[in-house]
Chain A
């Protein structure tokens, strides 16, 4: 079993839809959770980060962490064609040196 699992997609939605992207993980020591967005042939850019359980909202984006289920989510409201990208989740423990990344979900928002 991989340490972090993520549905690779592709996920296609119409413009304006609510998108839900998810990751599951096996290491209960993970405390910091991040979402990166990666456009084709570009480096990933940090989108959202959360600590431990709970929600965090930033504009059209909401990140949720459910540590009891070892499950994290990223919601995108009013999705736009410019949101079309690959979304990577990443996580680490409290004093860990490195992040563990999910394989990414490819999202296409159709106009």
Chain B
């Protein structure tokens, strides 16, 4: 079964803790993305990666960090510097960025992070 998996589904964090959200894909896609979704605000891009060992900041990167050591994996760390981390986090992938064509993004099931 090809697709994108995210874990955990629900995550609770205490103030001051760093937490890491997992994202894995077996679609052989080059590009991977992290979005944050808050009610009424749609999807906001946190980080994206077009190729292994390279990633770029999105619109709201402050307080987050990522790595891309393997093509299949793009974990997101929510650091204690992120002032309001409670949100629904979505990981996505697409086949090849920057090319003409639809290049649609496929999404994982999401992780809901709550700060206690």
Residue positions of A touching B, CB distance < 8 A: 4, 6, 8, 32, 34, 36, 41-46, 49, 51, 88, 90, 92, 94-99, 101-104
Contact = CB atoms under 8 A, between A and B. Distances in A.
A103 B40 contact: yes
B104 interface: yes
Interface stretch (B41-49, B69-77, B78-86): B41-49
B109 A46 contact: no
B102 A51 contact: yes
Contacts, number: 60
A97 B97 contact: yes
B103 interface: yes
Contacts of A92: 103
Contact of A95 (B42, B45, B99, B109): B99
Nearest to B48: A98
Given A45-B107, A95-B98, 17 more contacts: A4-B42, A8-B40, A32-B102, A34-B102, A36-B107, A41-B88, A41-B112, A43-B6, A46-B105, A88-B43, A95-B100, A97-B48, A97-B50, A97-B56, A98-B45, A102-B42, A103-B40
28 contacts: A8-B40, A32-B102, A36-B107, A41-B88, A41-B110, A41-B112, A42-B109, A42-B110, A43-B6, A43-B108, A44-B107, A46-B105, A46-B106, A49-B104, A88-B42, A90-B105, A92-B103, A97-B31, A97-B48, A97-B50, A97-B56, A97-B98, A98-B48, A98-B58, A99-B105, A103-B40, A103-B41, A104-B42
In the A-B complex, the 6 residue pairs with the closest CB atoms: A103-B42, A43-B107, A101-B43, A101-B42, A43-B109, A44-B107
B90 interface: yes
A30 to B, nearest CB: 13
Interface string B2-39: 00101000000000000000000000000101010000
A92 B105 CA distance: 11
A46 B94 CA distance: 12
